[in-house]
Structure 1
């Protein structure tokens, strides 16, 4: 009976009946944050009750209450990562995904509060989003690189504060040898890893194919000299086909002609004199076969048409 009474108290702890109506569905980010901060936090007893209802019965409404009561936590954590130049709303959205994963996996029998468990999942989801979107090319793939990525900036800020540097100086000054050694020792990584990550973070993205400028002129980008058209697959296939047609294909097409037509085509198009001039003229061939030059032209035209058909079939 006590459990039933506690569940009844929990079911009325938050209002209205639809918990998601407490948060604006779309629109202003400030309105969302304000609404999230208004949602009452759960007591340990309420949290335990909802977590058990979710685990034992798959209660979706209980899961909603657990998620809603921790939205302010996501907002707070996401604010810590705004220095990476990514939209605050997107960081919150990714953090909410991590929160929902945490709620789904939360075990109330472990004796810990959901907030302690959820922080790991929220940060992990935000970290993954930042790593995927902060650079077009991944800057951190191993565990040590991830540790460096998310600690290097804050540690550089600390060095800057100790040295009394101006706010913008951090981006212009490279790390000293002593600072590199201090970072490597503090994060338990190699000093070479610190130097490599510093180089990665200090370099910006370069557009391979820049957009045209305001005056309509096409901007010159690395894609213009990085591309090797000679080894592009389509170009290589087309080149190979042309080679085939120029050798085996021509021979196959010539084989479809009668002897006179083949001789006329060879003399007109396939022979080159020592001085670089072409083969026999229409009049030369007309004299050989005792017909008019017009007749030679007609035979040539019919032969070329037949060869084109044969080449098309060969290709």
Structure 2
């Protein structure tokens, strides 16, 4: 069965569900709320599948499968049924509409593009209303520039013009795979991924960095032998660990003032520079 046939079957099933009057709806909601009657909750949800179908049709313009939108809407419908308070003087359809719409919108935002957009309420409003507002403004008698249209949309939705421009650009183009082939006049030229510049070091640079690091560590190990135990402890704690100790912490550990720790550290660094200069003059700088 293809997707269109499946959609038609699903819509036919939803449209055949019985309507509930206010009293029936209230009784089912009470059974679910007080007795956790799963059948009552499911019957409430099933009777409002028409609402899900209608709302899914409104979002078909985003290019996602209708069946997926209906499925997400049904999840929102079940959530609404689980949270509905029968004591409130409101019909279930009014309450469920928000949950159905929110569930579909979240699904669209997650799947419309591999690039995630903003998830704030203002960004959602911009995403779902920009096309409609742009089309409405374009139908008027006024000849508006893109800048003027963006300004009016920004004012209407209470967002910045920059946000409107960025969203308009995003909605006007589709994603392109990095594995898409690059060809010229029928000749293959690799993939788009091959054209991206990398900030990573080249293999030669990586090997050179490893060798230099090992050489440095060897020189430093020899130079550290020139320090006495207290100097060595201060240098290790202050210079050779990720979580460097403070002067005050070392002072408490060694039983001296933090100023004395600073003096010992300065003297130890001078010793290291001198020792490194003996091994390799360039490393003393």
Cα drift, residue 110 of structure 1: 1.0
1:220 corresponds, among 185, 188, 191, to 191
Asked whether the equivalents of residues 14 and 46 of structure 2 are also in contact (C-alpha less than 8 Å), the reply is yes
1:154 aligns with 2:124: no
When the two structures are aligned, how many residues end up with a matched partner? 212
Structure 1 counterpart of 2:6: 28
Question: Residue 219 of structure 1 aligns to a residue in which SS?
Answer: strand
Cα drift, residue 160 of structure 1: 3.2
CA change 1:61–1:229 in 2 (3 A) is same
Q: Where does 1:62-211 land on structure 2 (aligned, <5 Å)? A: 62-162=40-140, 176-210=146-180
Question: Residue 190 of structure 2 aligns to a residue in which SS?
Answer: coil
Asked whether the equivalents of residues 140 and 146 of structure 1 are also in contact (C-alpha less than 8 Å), the reply is yes
Asked whether the equivalents of residues 80 and 99 of structure 2 are also in contact (C-alpha less than 8 Å), the reply is yes
Greater Rg, structure 1 or structure 2? Answer: 1
CA change 1:86–1:175 in 2 (3 A) is farther
1:59 aligns with 2:30: no
Stretch moving more, 223-232 or 54-63: 223-232
Which blocks of at least 5 consecutive residues in structure 1 are unaligned?
A: 1-26, 166-173, 250-315
Which whole-Å CA distance do the structure 2 matches of 1:216 and 1:76 have between them?
48
Which whole-Å CA distance do the structure 1 matches of 2:202 and 2:101 have between them?
44
CA change 1:223–1:98 in 2 (3 A) is farther
Which whole-Å CA distance do the structure 2 matches of 1:31 and 1:63 have between them?
23
CA change 1:236–1:81 in 2 (3 A) is farther
CA change 1:126–1:240 in 2 (3 A) is same
Alignment RMSD: 3.0
CA change 1:184–1:225 in 2 (3 A) is closer
Which whole-Å CA distance do the structure 2 matches of 1:36 and 1:115 have between them?
15
Which whole-Å CA distance do the structure 2 matches of 1:113 and 1:86 have between them?
30
Asked whether the equivalents of residues 181 and 192 of structure 2 are also in contact (C-alpha less than 8 Å), the reply is no
Question: Residue 159 of structure 1 aligns to a residue in which SS?
Answer: helix
Asked whether the equivalents of residues 139 and 200 of structure 1 are also in contact (C-alpha less than 8 Å), the reply is no
Which whole-Å CA distance do the structure 1 matches of 2:182 and 2:202 have between them?
27
Which whole-Å CA distance do the structure 1 matches of 2:114 and 2:130 have between them?
20
Structure 2 counterpart of 1:257: none
TM-score (norm 1): 0.59
Which blocks of at least 5 consecutive residues in structure 2 are unaligned?
A: 219-285
Question: Residue 139 of structure 2 aligns to a residue in which SS?
Answer: helix
1:38 corresponds, among 1, 6, 16, to 16
Asked whether the equivalents of residues 184 and 194 of structure 1 are also in contact (C-alpha less than 8 Å), the reply is yes
Structure 2 counterpart of 1:255: none
Which whole-Å CA distance do the structure 2 matches of 1:89 and 1:239 have between them?
56
TM-score (norm 2): 0.65
Stretch moving more, 51-60 or 195-204: 195-204
Cα drift, residue 238 of structure 1: 6.1
Residues 203-222 of structure 1 deviation map (CA, whole Å, 9 limit, x = unaligned): 33232232698x99463304
